[in-house]
Amino acid sequence: MDYHKETILILDFGSQYTQLIARKVRELGVYCEIYPFNIGLDKINSMDPKGIILSGGPRSVTEADAPQCTDGIFNLKIPILGICYGLQLITKFFGGEIDKSLKREYGKAHIFFDEDDGLFKGIKDGDIIWMSHQDRVFKIPEGFKILAHSDNSPYAAIKKIEDKIYGVQFHPEVHHTTKGKQILKNFLYNICKVKGLFSPRSFVELAVERIREEVGNSKVLCALSGGVDSSVVATLINKAIGNNLICVFVNNGVLRKNEVEEVLDIFEGKLHINLKYVNAEEKFLSALKGVTDPEKKRKIIGRLFIKIFEEEASGFGDMKYLAQGTLYPDVIESISFKGPSATIKSHHNVGGLPKKMKLKLIEPLRELFKDEVRIVGKELGLTDNIVYRQPFPGPGLAIRVIGAVNRERLSILKDADSIVRDEVERNAKFRHIWQSFAILIPVKTVGVMGDERTYANVIALRIVESEDAMTADWAKIPYEILDKIARRIINEVPGVNRVVYDISSKPPSTIEWE
Ligand code: XMP
The structural domains of the chain, ordered by start, are 3-191 (3.40.50.880), 200-387 (3.40.50.620), 400-501 (3.30.300.10)
Q: Which H helix or E strand runs over 486?
A: helix 479-492
The answer for residues whose C-beta is within 8 angstroms of residue 450's C-beta and 6 or more apart is: none
> Rounded to whole angstroms, how far apart are CA atoms 157 and 82?
10
Q: Could you say which DSSP state residue 7 is in?
A: P
Cα 146 to Cα 55, 98, 100, 118, 393: the distances in Å are 20, 15, 20, 14, 51
> pLDDT value at position 449?
86
Say what the pTM is: 0.88
> pLDDT value at position 416?
98
> Rounded to whole angstroms, how far apart are CA atoms 504 and 38?
39
> pLDDT value at position 107?
87
> pLDDT value at position 336?
56
The low-confidence residues of the chain, meaning pLDDT below 50, are 338-349
The answer for residues whose C-beta is within 8 angstroms of residue 361's C-beta and 6 or more apart is: 321, 322, 324, 354
Question: E strands of 450-495, at which residues?
Answer: 452-465, 473-474
Looking at the chain, how many residues does it have? Answer: 514
CA of 227 to the centre of ligand 1 (A): 13
> pLDDT value at position 335?
64
Whole-angstrom Cα Rg for the chain:
26
Cα 126 to Cα 108, 112, 226, 447: the distances in Å are 11, 6, 49, 60
Cα 497 to Cα 448, 450, 454, 455: the distances in Å are 8, 12, 7, 7
Tell the burial category of 242 from Cβ atoms under 10 Å away from its Cβ (0-12, 13-18, 19+).
exposed
Q: Which residues line ligand 1 (CB under 6 A)?
A: 298, 344, 347, 391, 393-395, 435, 469, 506, 510-512
> pLDDT value at position 344?
34
> pLDDT value at position 347?
42
> Rounded to whole angstroms, how far apart are CA atoms 144 and 429?
48
Minimal-distance CA residue to ligand 1 atom 12 = 393
Residue type, 249: F
Closest CA to 425 of 438, 411, 412, 440: 438
Closest CA to 396 of 221, 282, 225, 277: 225
Q: Which atom of ligand 1 is nearest to the CA of 513?
A: 2
> pLDDT value at position 158?
97
- Number of neighbouring beta carbons within 10 Å of residue 260: 17
Q: Which of 254, 343, 347, 392 to mutate to test the pocket of ligand 1 (most atoms within 8 A of CB)?
A: 347
